Amino acid sequence: GDNIMATFGSAQDCESTYVNTETSTVQTGRTRVYGVYLDSGSAAGDFHLRDGSSTGTIKFKCKTPANAEGITITFPAPILCKDGVYVNFTTEHVVAATVFHSGGNNN
What average pLDDT does this structure show over 6-18? Answer: 69
The pLDDT score that the predictor gives to residue 69 is 80
Quick: pLDDT tens for 89-107: 988 889 999 999 998 765 5
The pLDDT score that the predictor gives to residue 2 is 46
SS3 81: strand
Quick: pLDDT tens for 61-78: 999 988 878 899 999 999
Q: Rounded to whole angstroms, how far apart are CA atoms 94 and 107?
A: 29
Quick: pLDDT tens for 41-60: 889 999 999 999 999 999 99
| Beta strand extents in 1-107 (DSSP E only) | 15-19, 23-28, 31-40, 45-51, 58-64, 70-81, 84-89, 94-103
